[in-house]
């Protein structure tokens, strides 16, 4: 009897299990994916999310979470459609990139995980990593790239590491960035906060305001048109955790401004530096740097931060004086922070395993009553005054060539500059000469006699002068880098110089070549150069002859592009040249 009862219960249990399995499989089969990975959507209705499926009826905790996620997706999708349909926005030209294309792409799109195997195989001890806060200022930002920026942060940052996302609205005027945006982010994630500036403060003060509110151990400053990639945060935090006085940045990859596609490939061997008017410029990675790395994916020291992605421990940021609050609106803060960190005992590194996409749009940032150029140049002059010692004269001379007279400081601004200098002294800062000798070793320092400096670029071909091994002048395959092989200068004595020698010409072919320089006194009676109306010319008997890009028909460099002196012809576009930098030394030392 007991055996028969046990068999009956066993049979009933088996039937119940089979029935439950059938019901569960039927339930799961009705559930579709919450979001779509396809970035090509044909209409506004599908721009953000795919159509959710009917909700399954179940009390299983996992399925209850799926139900909540579907409800959230439905609410966000509905709200986004309302925002796109009911709020007007400016044309794409206003934003400086193809926002219409962005509106056709899901704000929750997946991007290829193009990290190397070496990066993907890294194992992190999450319990030992510091937490982070994201600070992103925005002013009249395009909607869908901004939403994509925040969605990427929330979905691609380990939840145990992300404390908050602080969005600082710098007095935006577009209606879609108001209450509807606030509601959207409230639904998306309760770690997202929006701080609203009642008046325009600019990027720099907005970043400082966001940093004050940050609750994470590390603050990451990002631009609003950036998109973090998978695994972006862990390598940055691990590097920051390895030493107390360090600032790091991701390897920032371009997002095409027309197709909105993220381009991620092999890391390129360049690092950031500065030009003499304090524009950001790329330098090839010095060979000695690779001697200390096992692979191209290891972090490397960087003289100057790129500016759109800055990760720094909050306590260290406070200790070094943060960004200079005397810098206005936008520009110069990444130079100020970079010089500050290096010269007061810290270091800056780029971490290739961390990838973030960035739309390099045409700058449409508004600067209030002042022009953009005036504000940026004044900020750069301020950075030079605080950090660059005697090298500030090169910055002032370069800016004077761009805008004369250069921007001037008020008495209050001079007092605030002195305050920053005192902060520098309190932190036992090294000299800017030390920075050039020890950190930015590839930077080339001009002479105070120079009036033009850097690459010499042909306006028609876009090619730049390059010195062949035999001393003749041809062309490099690229421009845009300050290289010793492509750096020339024209001084006030009329000498066209290359390093410690000068540019002359072969008397049989009139091809330009490098030769010994005349002395300063001899230059008045020997070969002198003039750069006027884009022509680079020298006197020959009673007339000027002009440097011209030609293809050599001589036995010397046959078939290669070279520079030859020819009769000046105002219609010849290959006689038009520009220098990378110019200096106006008038009143610089007053």
Cβ-proximal residues to 44 (8 Å cutoff; 6+ apart), any chain: 81, 84, 85, 103, 104
Retrieve residue 259's tokens. Answer: 């197709």
Distance CA 256, CA 233 (A): 23
Name the CA radius of gyration of the chain, rounded. Answer: 30
Domain layout of the chain by residue ranges: 112-359, 372-438, 450-582
Assigned architecture for domain 450-582:
Trefoil (2.80)
Residues 344 and 431: beta-carbon distance below 8 Å:
no
- What is the per-residue burial (b if ≥16 Cβ within 10 Å, else e) of 531-554? beeebbbbeeeeebbbbbbeebee
Which of 518, 515, 504 is closest to 547 using CA atoms?
504
Kindly report whether the peptide bond that precedes residue 407 is cis, defined as omega within 30 degrees of 0.
Answer: no
Q: Locate 322 and state its tokens.
A: 């943060």
Q: Record the tokens describing residue 104, joined without a space.
A: 């056709």
Comparing CA positions, the residue from 363, 389, 394, 361 lying closest to residue 376 is 363
For the 372-438 domain, the top CATH level (class) is mainly alpha
Tokens of 9: 């219960």
For position 212, what pLDDT does the model report?
97
pLDDT digits over 223-261, tens only?
999 999 999 999 999 999 999 999 999 999 999 999 999
Distance CA 504, CA 521 (A): 17
* pLDDT one digit per residue (tens) for the chain, 590 residues: 444 444 444 444 444 444 444 333 343 333 333 333 333 332 332 334 433 333 333 444 555 456 668 889 999 999 999 999 999 999 999 999 999 999 999 999 999 888 899 999 999 999 999 999 999 999 999 999 999 999 999 999 999 999 999 999 999 999 999 999 999 999 999 999 999 999 999 999 999 999 999 999 999 999 999 999 999 999 999 999 999 999 999 999 999 999 999 987 777 789 999 999 999 999 989 988 888 888 999 999 999 999 999 999 999 999 999 999 999 999 999 999 999 999 999 999 999 999 999 998 876 666 666 777 889 999 999 999 999 999 999 999 999 999 999 999 999 999 999 999 999 999 999 999 999 999 999 999 999 999 999 999 999 999 999 999 999 999 987 787 777 888 999 999 999 999 899 999 999 999 999 999 877 666 555 689 999 999 999 988 788 999 999 999 999 999 999 999 999 999 999 999 999 989 999 888 76
Task: Give the residues across from 544 on adjacent strands.
Answer: 539
What is the second-level CATH architecture of the domain 112-359?
A: Alpha-Beta Complex (3.90)
The tokens describing 200, both together, are 């325009």
pLDDT of residue 292: 83
Q: Residue 375: phi, psi to the nearest 5?
A: -65, -45
Residue 434 sits at φ, ψ, to 5 deg, of -60, -45
Residues 6+ apart with CB under 8 A from 110: 37, 39
pLDDT of residue 291: 85
Tokens 């390093």, located at residue: 499
Give the tokens for residue 586. 């008038």
Angle separating helix axes 61-86 and 179-188, nearest 10 degrees? 160
Token duo for residue 156: 């691609």
């Amino acid at each position: 009897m007991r055996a028969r009862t046990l068999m009956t219960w066993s049979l009933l249990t088996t039937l119940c299990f089979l029935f439950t399995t059938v019901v569960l499989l039927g339930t799961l089969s009705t559930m579709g994916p919450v979001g779509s990975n396809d970035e090509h959507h044909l209409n506004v209705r599908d721009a953000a999310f795919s159509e959710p499926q009917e909700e399954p009826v179940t009390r299983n905790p996992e399925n209850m979470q799926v139900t909540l996620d579907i409800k959230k997706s439905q609410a966000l999708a509905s709200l986004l459609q309302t925002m796109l349909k009911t709020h007007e926005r400016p044309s794409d030209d206003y934003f400086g990139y193809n926002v219409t294309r962005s509106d056709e792409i899901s704000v929750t799109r997946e991007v290829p995980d193009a990290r190397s195997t070496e990066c993907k195989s890294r194992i992190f001890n999450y319990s030992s990593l510091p937490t982070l806060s994201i600070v992103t200022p925005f002013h009249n930002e395009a909607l869908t790239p901004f939403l994509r920026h925040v969605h990427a942060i929330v979905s691609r940052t380990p939840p145990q590491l992300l404390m908050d996302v602080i969005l600082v609205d710098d007095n935006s005027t577009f209606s879609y960035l108001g209450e509807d945006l606030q509601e959207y982010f409230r639904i998306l994630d309760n770690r997202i906060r929006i701080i609203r500036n009642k008046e325009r403060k600019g990027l720099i003060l907005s970043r400082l305001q966001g940093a004050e509110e940050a609750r994470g151990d590390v603050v990451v400053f990002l631009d609003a048109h950036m998109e973090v990639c998978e695994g972006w945060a862990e390598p940055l935090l691990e590097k920051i955790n390895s030493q107390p006085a360090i600032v790091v940045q991701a390897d920032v990859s371009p997002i095409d401004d027309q197709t909105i596609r993220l381009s991620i490939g092999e890391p390129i061997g360049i690092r950031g530096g500065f030009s003499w008017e304090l524009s950001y410029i790329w330098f090839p990675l010095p060979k000695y740097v690779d001697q200390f790395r096992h692979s191209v994916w290891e972090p490397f020291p960087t003289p100057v931060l790129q500016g759109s992605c800055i990760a720094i421990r909050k306590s260290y940021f406070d200790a070094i004086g943060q960004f200079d609050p005397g810098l206005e609106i936008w520009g110069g803060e990444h130079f100020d922070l970079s010089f500050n960190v290096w010269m007061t005992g810290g270091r800056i590194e780029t971490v290739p395993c961390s990838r973030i996409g960035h739309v390099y749009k045409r700058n449409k940032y508004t600067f209030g009553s002042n022009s953009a150029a005036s504000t940026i140049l004044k900020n750069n002059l301020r950075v030079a005054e605080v950090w660059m010692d005697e090298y500030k004269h090169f910055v002032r001379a370069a800016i004077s060539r761009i805008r004369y007279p250069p921007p001037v400081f008020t008495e209050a601004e001079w007092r605030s500059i002195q305050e920053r200098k005192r902060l520098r002294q309190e932190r036992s800062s090294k000299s800017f000469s030390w920075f050039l000798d020890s950190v930015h070793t590839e930077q080339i320092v001009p002479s105070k006699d120079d009036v033009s400096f850097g690459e010499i670029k042909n306006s028609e071909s876009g090619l730049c002068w390059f010195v062949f091994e035999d001393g003749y002048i041809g062309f490099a395959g690229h421009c845009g880098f300050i290289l010793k092989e492509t750096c020339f200068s024209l001084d006030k004595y009329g000498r066209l110089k290359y390093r410690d020698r000068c540019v002359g010409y072969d008397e049989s072919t009139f091809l330009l070549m490098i030769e010994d320089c005349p002395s300063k006194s001899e230059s008045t009676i020997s070969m002198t150069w003039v750069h006027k109306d884009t022509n680079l010319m020298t006197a020959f008997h009673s007339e000027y002859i002009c440097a011209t890009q030609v293809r050599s028909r001589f036995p010397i460099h046959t078939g290669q592009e070279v520079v030859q002196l020819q009769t000046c012809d105002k219609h010849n576009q290959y006689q038009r040249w520009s220098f990378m930098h110019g200096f106006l030394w008038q009143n610089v030392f007053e």
